[in-house]
Homo-oligomer: A and B are copies of this chain.
Amino acid sequence: MIIIIFIIRPMSLRMTPQRHAVLTLINGSARHWDAEAISRALQKNDQRIGIATIYRTLSVLEEAGLIAAVVIGQRKHYERIDKPHHDHMVCEACGRIEEFFHQDIETLQHDIAKRHGFCIQGHSLVIFGLCRQCQ
């Protein structure tokens, strides 16, 4: 957490119990969290944080580069930042989210962006289907 303070402070942000709780929760699992899921998980832990604060905290932590965001469906989910870049595969039946990385897919995206004169800044790739258990 010490490193957090070195990131947080120069942005004139303060480390609060709320921010600590959200960050600890996300860093403590491999899950993908949305605001509601975080709220519920913290309540189970007897940490109740106002929902507005959760939304604010997620934005702040994302902007500070301390968590990563993924849009799945039309909802924003957050996950720990300490994983290398990857894309997602979502089971339409059970909601299971699996991660994958394929260097060729990454490279080809850059190729095609260049071909269109686009300066690529990012991408969102989500594969929908049925996981092994659900098909």
Q: Does A102 contact B (CB under 8 A)?
A: yes
CA distance A91 to B119 in the complex (A): 9
Q: Given A75-B74, A108-B105, A109-B105, are A98 and B116 also a contact pair (CB < 8 Å)? A: yes
Query: Of B76, B119, B128, which contacts A123 at CB under 8 A?
Result: B128
Most chain B beta-carbon contacts within 10 A, residue among A100, A119, A127 = A127
Q: How many copies of this chain does the complex contain? A: 2
Instruction: Count A-side interface residues using an 8 Å CB cutoff.
Output: 36
Q: Name the B residues within 8 Å of A112 (CB-CB).
A: 89, 100, 102, 105, 127
Instruction: Annotate A100-135 by CB proximity to B: 1 below 8 A, 0 otherwise.
Output: 101011001100110111111111111111111001
